[in-house]
Amino acid sequence: MSYKNLSSILKVLSDPSRLEIIDLLSCGELCACDLLEHFQFSQPTLSHHMKSLVDNELVTTRKDGNKRMYQLNHETLDDLNQNLNTITTPNTRCVCKNMKSGEC
């Protein structure tokens, strides 16, 4: 994952409501109506948040009759966690390995 892609995902997750949605979905699949019950905002606001989460592949969606169901995309979230660990831990492919220390 590039720095640009990682940054885009982190921007999506920087919204407290979206983080709370991720937390709620960590317990399992929920419909939009369940999410709306939890929050004090309108359906269009929820749709806006869910579109950001779905467009960035953090959440998947499916139709179940007239309900829209949401669940976490664990593959993307695992990749995100792995990339955050990579950039915060020294390793052989770390960008810092290309730097010369103490030559300022």
Whole-number pLDDT of residue 1: 81
Instruction: Convert the pLDDT of each residue in 5-53 to its tens digit.
Output: 999 999 999 999 999 999 999 999 999 999 999 999 999 999 999 999 9
Average confidence score pLDDT of the chain: 91
Domain layout of the chain by residue ranges: 3-86
Whole-number pLDDT of residue 90: 80
Architecture of domain 3-86: Orthogonal Bundle (1.10)
**Banded model confidence at residue 72, pLDDT cuts 50, 70, 90:** very high
Q: Are 74 and 88 in contact (CB under 8 A)?
A: no
**Banded model confidence at residue 97, pLDDT cuts 50, 70, 90:** low
Interior CA angle at 61 toward 57 and 62, to 5°? 150
Interior CA angle at 86 toward 17 and 102, to 5°? 120
